[in-house]
């Protein structure tokens, strides 16, 4: 994962710079990601112009659909948040067979709450993938 992230000087500034590319999103997540990797999900909240307005970390082994209500609750507490991008890290195992359905259900829950879930990155030892 570290090879795909721009240097720290290229990280978009909160509430100023739009976060539009996958590289920009990964660079923001790299600042919040725990090392060594452990089970956690990080939510990046953006406004309608795709500027970062909040970031939350959830320490949990639970599946995305089991913690999405907590993520939505944190995001809607920010008045200007309209979009969410997620990164989940896992110790050991990478992609799971239920990830695509988990993302689809979480995306629907966010839409019901008036938020757009744009991306979900999965990070494990030796693997980084994205569900859109």
- pLDDT, tens digit, 9 for 90 and up, residues 52-110: 999 999 998 899 999 999 999 999 999 999 999 999 998 877 788 889 999 999 999 99
For the chain, domains (ranges, CATH) are: 2-131 (3.40.140.10)
Q: Give one DSSP letter per residue of 44-93, joined into a string.
A: EEE-TT-BEEEEEEEE--S-HHHHHHHHHHHHHTSTT--EEEEEEE-SS-
What's the mean per-residue pLDDT of the chain? Answer: 89
Residues in CB range of 116: below 8 A, 6 or more apart: 82, 83, 84, 110
> Percent of the chain at pLDDT above 70?
93
Structure token digits, residue 106? 């979480």
Is the Cβ–Cβ distance between 82 and 117 less than 8 Å? Answer: no
Residue 6 has pLDDT above 60, yes or no: no
pLDDT, mean of residues 18-43: 91
Output the pLDDT for position 4: 42
């Amino acid at each position: 994962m570290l090879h795909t992230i721009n240097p720290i000087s290229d990280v978009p500034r909160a509430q100023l710079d739009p976060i539009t590319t996958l590289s920009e999103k990964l660079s923001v997540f790299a600042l919040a990601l725990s090392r060594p990797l452990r089970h956690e999900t990080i939510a990046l909240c953006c406004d309608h112009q795709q500027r970062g307005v909040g970031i939350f970390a959830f320490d949990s082994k639970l599946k995305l659909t089991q913690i999405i209500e907590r993520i939505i609750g944190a995001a809607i507490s920010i008045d200007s948040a309209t979009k969410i991008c997620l990164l989940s890290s896992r110790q050991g195992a990478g992609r799971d067979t239920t990830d695509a359905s988990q993302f689809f259900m979480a995306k629907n829950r966010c839409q019901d709450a008036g938020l757009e879930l744009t991306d979900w990155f999965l990070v494990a030892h030796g693997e980084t993938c994205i569900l859109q």
